[in-house]
């Protein structure tokens, strides 16, 4: 148990600084740190996806990537050596440890395609026509890349079990802190009741980590997306771009949540699109999307499998019947 707690603290400590790339401002509270960790997980997943085009995500490569957050931590000592960040570490590690300890075994479809695909990512660079080995490899989620890159010399193979728990812990802490803040200021608005009702639902219906798979993290992220859109400055270009990045990440986890794009259309009404093109994070989004669909084409011959209109029958590895 002690090793699990220490690993939980370390993985939060090392993964959170990646989120600085998409963070809008430097603060020191649980809202900011939990949001930064979520965006950090998106950045790490993108790094894993990009590297796998050229290299297997083996332990040595994954361990080398951890040098970046160590550098960021040392450069931002005022943030990461603060009492607030220590509280965030303890809170996150506690939730992660409880989730994992209370699960008997990691079993939702894991033996069928989650774990085999993670093993492939750790051993091989991207494989053309991989779906010909089995059709299940056409439906892989981005979270498997997050799991694969978590297998390093610090956590070893145990690192792959943390991905879903990191997302869950971030959202639970984010919602809890906002509820506390609203209650402290006696501000009982619509957002407050949304957070309370959603958190109750999470505690009641999403307390079995062994059943998380790809579905639960996608729903956690969707709940967080709605919260951010309810609470964001609708004219803030960076907030809008971050929301679209989050939407993309959700869809790459679970294509059936494509409906979340409708939320983006609502937010789009008050956005000056010309300003979006000035943001570096917009180009990050474009590259992320292109890489994901390119990965799909290389693996299955389809942009989205098995939509026939989005498949390239001329590709010799296309497995569409």
**What digits encode the pLDDT tens for the residues 208-226?**
777 787 888 899 999 999 9
What is the pTM (predicted TM-score) of this model? 0.91
Full DSSP string of 284-321: HHHHHHHHHHHHHHHHHSBSSTT-GGGB-TTSTT----
Residue ranges of the chain with per-residue pLDDT less than 70:
24-26, 103-113, 233-235, 264-274, 319-321
Q: What is the pLDDT of residue 319?
A: 65
Give the E-state strand segments of 124-164 in sequence order.
Answer: none
Q: What is the pLDDT of residue 106?
A: 47
Q: What is the pLDDT of residue 280?
A: 84
**What digits encode the pLDDT tens for the residues 20-35?**
888 766 677 899 999 9
- CA dist 264 and 289 (Å) reads 16
Q: What is the pLDDT of residue 268?
A: 61
Q: What is the pLDDT of residue 108?
A: 47
- CA dist 137 and 121 (Å) reads 12
Q: What is the pLDDT of residue 303?
A: 87
For residues 18 and 43, the answer to whether their CB atoms sit within 8 Å is yes
SS3 53: coil
- From 119, 124, 113, select the one nearest 52 (Cα to Cα): 124
């Amino acid at each position: 148990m002690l090793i699990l707690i220490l690993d939980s603290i370390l993985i939060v400590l090392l993964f959170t600084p990646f989120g600085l790339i998409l963070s809008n401002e430097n603060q020191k509270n649980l809202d900011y740190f939990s949001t930064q960790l979520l965006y950090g997980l998106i950045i790490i997943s993108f790094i894993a996806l990009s590297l796998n085009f050229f290299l297997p995500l083996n332990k040595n490569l994954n361990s080398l990537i951890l040098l970046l957050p160590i550098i960021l931590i040392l450069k931002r000592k005022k943030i990461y050596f603060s009492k607030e960040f220590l509280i965030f570490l303890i809170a996150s590690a506690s939730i992660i440890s409880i989730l994992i300890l209370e699960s008997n075994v990691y079993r939702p479809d894991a033996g069928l395609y989650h774990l085999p695909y993670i093993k492939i990512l750790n051993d091989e660079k991207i494989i053309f026509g991989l779906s010909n080995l089995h059709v299940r490899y056409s439906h892989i989620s981005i979270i498997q890349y997050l799991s694969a890159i978590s297998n390093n010399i610090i956590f070893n193979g145990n690192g792959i079990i943390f991905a879903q728990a990191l997302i869950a812990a971030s959202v639970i802490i984010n919602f809890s802190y906002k509820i506390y803040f609203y209650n402290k200021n006696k501000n009982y608005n619509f957002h407050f009741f949304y957070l309370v009702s959603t958190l109750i639902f999470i505690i009641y219906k999403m307390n079995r980590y062994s059943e998380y798979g790809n579905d639960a993290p996608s729903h956690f992220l969707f709940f967080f997306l709605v919260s951010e859109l309810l609470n964001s400055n609708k004219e803030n270009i960076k907030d809008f771009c971050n929301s679209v990045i989050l939407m993309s990440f959700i869809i790459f986890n679970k294509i059936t949540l494509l409906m979340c794009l409708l939320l983006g259309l609502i937010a789009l009404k008050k956005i000056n699109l010309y300003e979006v093109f000035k943001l570096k994070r917009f180009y990050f989004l474009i590259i992320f999307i292109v890489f994901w669909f390119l990965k799909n084409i290389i693996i299955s011959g389809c942009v989205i499998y098995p939509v026939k209109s989005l498949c390239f029958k001329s590709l010799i590895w296309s497995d569409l019947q």
